Structure 1
Amino acid sequence: MANFTEAQLIQLKTALHKRYLHLQKEIRNELAHTQDISDSELAEYVNNIPDDIDTALVDRQINEMRELEMSMRYLSELEFGDCIDCGNEIGFERLLVYPSAQRCIQCQTQYEKAFPQESSPSL
């Protein structure tokens, strides 16, 4: 495990928990209006889900929540803060900003170059 002080570990645990709760709230808000749909409107609603709910956003949020859960587990098991690729310390500042980070900045940069996300729409 990376060499963090007790105060830093508390800060990281707090950051993980705050981000988790924030994502949970965002997902609930995104899905909240689905509770008001009657049975007769359900078929039409299901056909228009992409119009009503940003499913990609909710999917990303759920995946980030899973990463946060894993990071919380690693923190409690003292396996937190080391890069999964090179084994070096990720860095307190990076983890404070992005609590579920699994790679140091250098390895994350290399990973993003090797596996670029296809976020651009294609024609």
Structure 2
Amino acid sequence: MNGLPAAEVEHLRKRLRNEHARLRREVADELARSEQGRYLELAGRIHDRGDEAVADLLEDLQIAALDRHVHRVRQVEAALAAIDQGRYGLCRACGVQIGSARLEAEPAAERCIDCQTAVEQGRHAPTL
């Protein structure tokens, strides 16, 4: 078990669910905007090469933003699953308690601060 007080876990579960709902709306909105943009292009807008380059860049940026949103949705879903399985708040790399302050700052944190630092510095975090 994770050792976190039940009230704290419920508070973080609520935050995660709210973020999950917000992210799903943002993904849906982004997809709708993307489809609308494709429709306008197909409707016969005439582009010169410069316009096409800008349009390609904007589409790439939209895809990157969408990819970040989808990645974050997966992180939040993993945290919610960990809550349901009773392993929320435990570092997936070393198994120690992540810590309330870190979870309050980042409810979907998967690693303790030491293991996350190791990953960000290009070192491998320990594995269970």
Partner of 2:42: 40
Alpha-carbon deviation of 1:78?
0.4
Identity %: 28
| Distance in 2 between residues matched to 1:81 and 1:29, nearest whole Å | 31
Q: Considering only aligned residues, what root-mean-square deviation do their CA atoms show, in Å?
A: 2.6
TM-score (norm 1): 0.77
| Amino acid corresponding to residue 110 of structure 1 in structure 2 | A
1:65 aligns with 2:67: no
Partner of 1:120: none
1:82 to 1:19, Cα distance in 2 relative to 1, 3 A: same
Give unmatched runs, 5+ long, in structure 1: 116-123
Partner of 2:118: 110
| Amino acid corresponding to residue 24 of structure 2 in structure 1 | Q
Partner of 2:62: 54
Alpha-carbon deviation of 1:34?
3.4
Partner of 1:89: 97
Partner of 1:8: 8
| Distance in 2 between residues matched to 1:102 and 1:78, nearest whole Å | 14
Deviations 1:17-54 (A, max 9, x none): 11111211222232222344268349x8xx94541452
1:77 to 1:93, Cα distance in 2 relative to 1, 3 A: same
For residue 87 of structure 2, give the secondary structure of its aligned residue in structure 1: coil
Partner of 2:23: 23
Alpha-carbon deviation of 1:75?
0.5
Aligned residues: 114
Give unmatched runs, 5+ long, in structure 2: 48-52, 124-128
